[in-house]
């Protein structure tokens, strides 16, 4: 029986980078597109990537986050599929490093039960660009959520597209690679390019 689904955000739930969405909104998004390939190549760590990325959020007004959220391009069928799975009584977790303030909008709009995210400093309603708390290990956070909710790893699945999602795939019942990189594909039981297929996979596996 499947009781929980972990969902990656960037390039899975949405097309593009959620981590860079705030910087893009204020016209400072180019740096992320320069440094992310370095992270993929293993030349910088996730912590370094987060520091550089969220440094570009400096100057963004917290009250503009709703506008940032509305500009996000959700992948076809993603919103409907999340709600459909949740209606089956399965807990949904947005497992991501986006700022928690932005994550809360996903929780409110799509009905996620839990979200993870990076804590950024805000002064007088403005992001300073300083990271206060890192959430840079998805596998560890997934296990903490499962333990807290008293759900076994064999009762959870995960969908994502890159190597940090692949680490979650190894811990849970199975992983689903959504247009994933080599690590995600290698460690996933399923590979899909249509988000709507996630529901069919969960329905199939729940009956096994």
Instruction: Look at residue 186 in the predicted model and tell me its pLDDT.
Output: 98
Instruction: Look at residue 35 in the predicted model and tell me its pLDDT.
Output: 85
Structural domains in the chain plus CATH codes: 4-15+73-206 (3.40.50.1000)
Instruction: Look at residue 39 in the predicted model and tell me its pLDDT.
Output: 83
DSSP bridge partners of 191: 177
C-alpha distances (whole Å) from 161 to each of 12, 122, 149, 166, 177 are: 6, 30, 25, 8, 5
Task: Give me 192's structure tokens.
Answer: 């899909």
Instruction: Look at residue 206 in the predicted model and tell me its pLDDT.
Output: 86
d(CA 93, CA 194): 19
144-167: string of b/e by CB count within 10 Å (b at 16+)?
Answer: ebbeeeebebebbbbbbbbbbbbb
Q: HSE (CB half, 13 Å, CA atoms) of 173?
A: 18
- Among residues 137, 156, 125, 124, the alpha carbon closest in space to that of 5 is found at 156
Q: How many residues does the chain have?
A: 208
pLDDT per residue, tens digit, the chain (208 aa), is 999 999 999 999 999 888 899 999 999 988 878 888 888 788 988 889 889 999 999 999 999 999 999 999 999 999 999 999 999 999 999 999 899 999 999 999 999 999 999 999 999 999 999 999 988 799 999 999 999 999 999 999 999 999 999 999 999 999 999 999 999 999 999 999 999 999 999 999 987 7
Instruction: Look at residue 9 in the predicted model and tell me its pLDDT.
Output: 94
3-class state of residue 123 by DSSP: strand
131-141: string of b/e by CB count within 10 Å (b at 16+)?
Answer: beeebbbbbeb
Instruction: Look at residue 31 in the predicted model and tell me its pLDDT.
Output: 81
Helical residues (DSSP H) of the chain, grouped into ranges: 21-25, 30-40, 46-55, 65-71, 78-86, 100-110, 138-149, 163-169, 182-187, 197-206
Instruction: Look at residue 130 in the predicted model and tell me its pLDDT.
Output: 95
């Amino acid at each position: 029986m499947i009781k929980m689904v972990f969902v990656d955000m960037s390039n899975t739930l949405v097309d593009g980078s959620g981590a860079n969405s705030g910087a893009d909104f204020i016209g400072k998004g180019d740096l992320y597109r320069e440094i992310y390939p370095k992270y993929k190549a293993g030349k910088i760590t996730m912590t370094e990537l987060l520091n550089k990325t969220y440094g570009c959020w400096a100057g963004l007004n917290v009250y503009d986050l709703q506008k940032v959220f509305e500009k996000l391009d959700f992948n076809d069928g993603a919103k409907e599929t999340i709600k459909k799975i949740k209606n089956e009584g399965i807990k949904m977790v947005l497992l991501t490093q986006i700022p928690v303030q932005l994550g809360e909008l996903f929780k409110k709009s799509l009905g996620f039960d839990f979200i993870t995210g990076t804590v950024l400093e805000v002064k007088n309603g403005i992001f300073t660009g300083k990271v206060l708390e890192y959430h840079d290990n998805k596998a560890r956070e997934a296990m903490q959520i499962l333990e807290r909710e008293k759900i076994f790893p064999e009762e959870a699945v995960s969908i994502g597209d890159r190597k940090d999602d692949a680490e979650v795939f190894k811990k849970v019942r199975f992983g689903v690679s959504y247009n994933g990189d080599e690590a995600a594909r290698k460690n996933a039981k399923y590979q899909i390019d249509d988000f709507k297929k996630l529901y069919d996979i969960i329905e199939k596996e729940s009956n096994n």
